[in-house]
Amino acid sequence: MTLNPIANEPQTRRCPNCGNPMPEGSPACPHCDAVLEGAAPSAEAATEYRFLRALFTRSNHFTLIFVGINVGVFVLMCLAGGFAVTSVDPEVLRGFGAKQNDLIIDQSEYWRLITSIFIHIGFIHLFLNNYALWIIGQEIEQIYGSARFVALYLITGVIGSLASFLFNPKATSAGASGAIFGLFGIMATFAFRYRKEIPRLLSREIKRRVLPVIAINLLFGFSVRIVDNAAHLGGLLSGVALALIIPYKRPNERITPRVWVALQVLCLLLILGSFVAAFRSYTGPRLSFANLTSDPGPSVVAYFERMQDARRLLDKSFRQFDSAFDGGKNASGGSNQALDSIEKALRAVNEAPRIDAQADQFRKRLLELINQQESITVEFSKSPTTNRESARQAERALRNQAQQFESDYESWLPGFLKERGYELGENGDHR
């Protein structure tokens, strides 16, 4: 004979509101969320439940909107400079509005202090910041309300950009990290400032989660040289200061005061206006779906190298054509070599990234020359030995066009490179 313990059945009762079974002693029904009168736990537990439910059932759509803006801007950057995992072409960063002190000072592009908040340097940077924004942003938006959240996010982000401008002047920087640190500072300060007003469970949970995250990220920032700690600290400290001034949206606050709604609209207009200014001032690579499969390295370097390769291969095909013409009956070998060089030249010129209208115009001119050389060479290879003079004359005319192209291109190239921080070396290489 064996003895089996009698299982203690959980004590339940019927919810008087919806009729479903609920745990005995629970202050609220898990089915309809009704808070019950005369529940076994203290009135404090019911009050905490009402507080948390009032806060964390609010909408948080602006968090999703900001995440969407970050993703949308990154997609456009990929169309300009290719899909980047850990780095982005500096030309793309500057074109889309990254923080760069000389452009802010010399050209009065103050809008970069805002646009830089929504620009990310590679997919990993985007993913980590968006994940952090999704976690902390939702909670801040629910605690402070959407109107205050928009203002807090933009203000802390701009102050982070200003801190980078002042204390990290040589860096081309971008990212939502300053604003995200600001949100963490707001959350930590909220738990401290309202510790006697909010549920103790909420205060403990915030301190347990937020303070270690702030400490770990600051420690990581100071140990990695490429991290813009000035922006992080600027955002964090501004978040602490703002949370000491700006009140949260209490559970009984049904209507947001007009001053916060007006500030929210102003912030959204500033964001929109900054991106319009960035669009009008855009000097980065031309957007193209073809760039999605291109190397996301520096587009100016890639453009220079691909154009150099294509020009060299076109010139090589001219020499191979001469050999084929002089070869008489053995011309097929020379023409095949010329066609092989032409194929490589076409591949090189098509891989040249689209940077701006003038650079792309030179790329198209070179592409047209290579296509004409291919047509002439194919015609030559199919012509009888005694009837190849017309192909030779067409090829000589094409060489004259190529010489004119070379003259125009070499006159334009140094200025183009200088505008983008490069110059030609002694051997015609960039540096």
Active-site residue set: 177, 232
Structural contact between residues 80 and 117, judged by C-beta atoms closer than 8 angstroms: no
- Contacts for 261-268 with beta carbons within 8 Å, 24 or more apart? 261/147, 263/147, 263/150, 263/151, 264/146, 264/147, 264/148, 264/150, 264/151, 267/150, 267/151, 267/154, 267/155, 268/150
Indicate the burial class of 136 (C-beta count within 10 angstroms; 0-12, 13-18, 19 or more).
buried
Q: How far is CA 15 from CA 10, 19, 23, 48, in A?
A: 15, 5, 9, 20
Single-letter amino acid, residue 333: G
First and final C-alpha spacing in the chain: 90
Q: Which two tokens stand for residue 344?
A: 């490589």
Contacts of 411 (CB under 8 A, 6+ apart): none
Q: Cβ of 275: how many Cβ atoms within 10 Å?
A: 18
Indicate the burial class of 218 (C-beta count within 10 angstroms; 0-12, 13-18, 19 or more).
middle
Single-letter amino acid, residue 62: F
Structural contact between residues 154 and 239, judged by C-beta atoms closer than 8 angstroms: no
Contacts of 291 (CB under 8 A, 6+ apart): 78, 79, 80, 81, 82, 285, 353, 354
Q: How far is CA 103 from CA 7, 141, 287, 417, in A?
A: 74, 33, 22, 17
Q: Which two tokens stand for residue 91?
A: 């030309």
Single-letter amino acid, residue 173: S
CA–CA separation, 116 vs 161, rounded Å?
8
CA–CA separation, 55 vs 396, rounded Å?
79
- 3-state SS, residue 251: coil
Structural contact between residues 333 and 380, judged by C-beta atoms closer than 8 angstroms: no
